[in-house]
């Protein structure tokens, strides 16, 4: 019987009112992504943090135009609660996690909607340790949001300063995650920054390590973030690599926490491929502590490859915070998901597209192989992913008709396939994944399931 999963977006028994799987995200101008709400959110965060001390808070953002507005109101809300802010400007999400730790801040705040278009935005948070906030703090912030907004005495208002050397600090940190004898001399690399937060960071990292860098997606105008470029449109960099006869391509998303790569033949490597390369190299060169964490979306072929290496493999819910939770609980170091969120806990505390790409490039140098050669050995099952836009509120994937459609698809796949249906934690979508040995059959089953979901949960 095929493996089937209906994944719930929120795993806690207590339900969040505002926070999703990765902070608070939505359409700009539509509650809660409004200046009024974000002002009070800054104040609520400040009130909660003030109970734990009086340290500074970092604020960084990606390049979407609404970031200017939300940066200002967050700063105002925090100031009203008596909290100082250090403004980083446009910086990748993982850079803010790193700087929160090294600058000894109480928390880091990221204004970003990651891979979403410019007209969306969101607010997410890092703890003083550079990890996602625990549920307990998120619930405390939500409780504070229900209280009337007040202001500390004028003499106690928070101050704001701009951190001018943030890019340089982070560039040096990225380079430090590979051995000092690793250079990229002789490599021609196309780097696509998705007109996002890494536009002034990523090309410099790879260039300073010796690569010839062809940069694209480095002209943000506030409206073009993720637009026909970056990790969500890898076919663009695929074409550029072939056109420029480059050795490989690196495509980041708008906030720089996920990455996909392209080899010189135009093959697109997703997060499963990259995690395989990093782990295999680590295992060949030295002992690897513990096992690997994937998600319910991780390809069955990758799971089998790790088991063949003698490594334990477990699946977490989708979202890097759940991968992180499993890694911390098990004292393991490596995990990731096909979208390109890879966690290398030996180097950093969150998914980082630049650092992931560097680990892959280091593996190529260690093994003296091309990107095309080093991924040999991983045989992935055909996997079809479809998104169905939904309009109904409080949707359930356990309706009789959806369950019947899943059961019929399971029977066709037998014991060599998987089916996953889940509600997106960031968009009004139901995501459908079908995996099996025969791609044509897998696609047909995925389309059948999508049609049933559309009829059941789509627009009335």
Tens digit of pLDDT at every position of the chain (460 positions): 455 555 544 334 467 788 877 789 999 999 999 999 999 999 999 999 988 877 899 999 999 999 999 999 999 999 999 999 999 999 999 999 999 999 999 999 999 999 999 999 999 999 999 988 888 899 999 999 999 999 999 999 999 999 999 999 999 999 999 999 999 999 999 999 999 999 999 999 999 999 999 999 999 999 999 999 999 999 999 999 999 999 999 999 999 999 999 999 999 999 999 999 999 999 999 878 899 999 998 999 999 999 999 999 999 998 888 999 999 999 999 999 999 999 999 999 999 999 999 999 999 999 999 999 999 999 999 999 999 998 766 678 988 999 999 999 999 998 788 999 988 766 788 999 999 989 999 999 999 999 999 998 875 5
Which one of the listed residues 66, 76, 79, 114 is annotated catalytic?
114
| Omega before residue 243 within 30° of 0, cis | no
Q: Give the pairing type, strands 57-61 and 107-111.
A: parallel
Round to whole Å and give the CA distance between 92 and 108: 12
Evaluate whether 70 touches 61 at the Cβ level (below 8 Å).
Answer: yes
Q: What pLDDT does residue 426 have?
A: 66
> Tokens 């090294």 map to which residue?
102
Round to whole Å and give the CA distance between 121 and 66: 7
**Range 170-374 classified under CATH 3.40.120.10:** yes
The answer to whether 12 is a known catalytic residue is no
- List, by residue range, all CATH 3.40.120.10 domains of the chain: 12-164, 170-374
Evaluate whether 350 touches 342 at the Cβ level (below 8 Å).
Answer: no
Q: What pLDDT does residue 14 have?
A: 61
> Tokens 């782990």 map to which residue?
279
b/e 56-83 (16+ beta carbons within 10 angstroms → b): bbbbbbbbbebbeebbbbbbbbbbbbbb
Evaluate whether 91 touches 167 at the Cβ level (below 8 Å).
Answer: yes
Q: What pLDDT does residue 324 have?
A: 92
- List, by residue range, all CATH 3.30.310.50 domains of the chain: 383-457
Taking the CA of residue 166 as centre, how many other CA atoms within 13 Å lie in the half-sphere pointing to its CB? 28
Give how far Cα 226 sits from Cα of 136, 142, 144, 190, 427, Å. 33, 30, 34, 16, 16
Round to whole Å and give the CA distance between 93 and 397: 32
Q: How many C-beta atoms surround the C-beta of residue 92 within 10 A?
A: 33
Q: What pLDDT does residue 165 have?
A: 96
Q: In this structure, which CATH number among 3.40.120.10, 3.30.450.20, 3.40.50.720, 3.30.70.20 belongs to the domain 12-164? A: 3.40.120.10
* Tens-place pLDDT, residues 29-85: 999 999 999 999 999 999 999 888 778 999 999 999 999 999 999 999 999 999 999
Round to whole Å and give the CA distance between 247 and 262: 9
* Tens-place pLDDT, residues 316-364: 998 888 999 999 999 999 999 999 999 999 999 999 999 999 999 999 9
Q: What pLDDT does residue 214 have?
A: 98
Q: In this structure, which CATH number among 3.90.1150.10, 3.30.70.1400, 1.10.260.40, 3.30.310.50 belongs to the domain 383-457? A: 3.30.310.50
Q: Which of 60, 99, 87, 58 is nearest to 162 (CA)?
A: 87
Evaluate whether 184 touches 211 at the Cβ level (below 8 Å).
Answer: yes
Q: How many C-beta atoms surround the C-beta of residue 364 within 10 A?
A: 21
The two structure tokens encoding residue 48? 């909660």
Q: What pLDDT does residue 457 have?
A: 86
Angle at 95 between CA 229 and CA 31, to 5 degrees: 70
Round to whole Å and give the CA distance between 255 and 118: 12
Evaluate whether 194 touches 220 at the Cβ level (below 8 Å).
Answer: no
């Amino acid at each position: 019987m095929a493996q089937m999963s209906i994944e719930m977006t929120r795993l806690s028994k207590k339900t969040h009112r505002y926070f999703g799987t990765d902070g608070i995200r939505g359409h700009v101008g539509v509650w809660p992504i409004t200046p009024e709400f974000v002002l009070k959110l800054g104040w609520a965060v400040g009130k909660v943090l003030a109970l734990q001390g009086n340290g500074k808070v970092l604020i960084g953002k990606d390049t979407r135009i609404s970031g200017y507005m939300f940066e200002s109101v967050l700063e105002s809300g925090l100031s009203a609660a008596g909290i100082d802010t250090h403004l980083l400007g446009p910086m990748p999400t993982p850079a803010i996690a790193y700087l929160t730790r090294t600058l000894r801040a109480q928390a880091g705040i990221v204004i970003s909607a990651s891979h979403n278009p410019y007209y969306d935005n969101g607010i997410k948070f890092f703890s003083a340790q550079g990890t996602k906030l625990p549920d307990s703090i998120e619930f405390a912030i939500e409780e504070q949001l229900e209280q009337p907004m007040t202001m500390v005495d004028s003499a106690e208002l928070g101050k704001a300063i701009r951190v001018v050397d943030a890019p340089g600090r982070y560039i040096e940190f990225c380079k430090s995650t590979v051995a000092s004898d690793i250079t990229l001399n002789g490599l021609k690399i196309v780097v696509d920054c998705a007109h996002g937060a890494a536009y002034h960071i990523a090309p410099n990292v790879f260039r300073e390590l010796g690569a010839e860098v062809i940069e694209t997606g480095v002209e943000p105008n506030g409206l073009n973030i993720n637009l026909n470029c970056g990790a969500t449109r890898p076919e663009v960099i695929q074409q550029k690599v072939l056109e420029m006869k480059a050795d490989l391509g690196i495509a980041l998303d708008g906030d720089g926490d996920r990455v996909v790569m392209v080899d010189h033949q135009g093959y697109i490597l997703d997060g499963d491929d990259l995690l395989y390369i990093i782990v295999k190299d680590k295992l060949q060169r030295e002992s690897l502590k513990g096992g690997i964490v994937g998600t319910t979306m991780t390809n069955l072929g990758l799971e089998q490859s790790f088991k063949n290496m003698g490594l334990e493999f477990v699946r977490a819910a989708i979202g890097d915070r759940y991968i992180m939770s499993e890694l911390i609980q098990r004292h393991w170091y490596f995990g990731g998901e096909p979208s390109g969120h890879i966690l290398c806990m030996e180097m950093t505390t969150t998914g980082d597209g630049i650092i992931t790409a560097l680990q892959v490039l280091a593996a190529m140098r260690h093994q003296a192989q091309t990107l095309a050669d080093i991924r040999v050995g991983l045989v992935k099952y055909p996997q079809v992913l479809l998104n169905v836009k939904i309009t109904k509120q409080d949707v359930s994937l356990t309706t009789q008709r959806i369950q019947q459609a899943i059961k019929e698809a399971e029977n066709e796949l037998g014991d060599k396939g998987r089916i996953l249906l889940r509600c997106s934690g960031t968009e009004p979508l139901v995501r459908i994944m079908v995996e099996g040995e025969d791609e044509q059959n897998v696609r047909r089953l995925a389309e059948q399931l999508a049609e049933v979901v559309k009829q059941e949960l789509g627009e009335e």
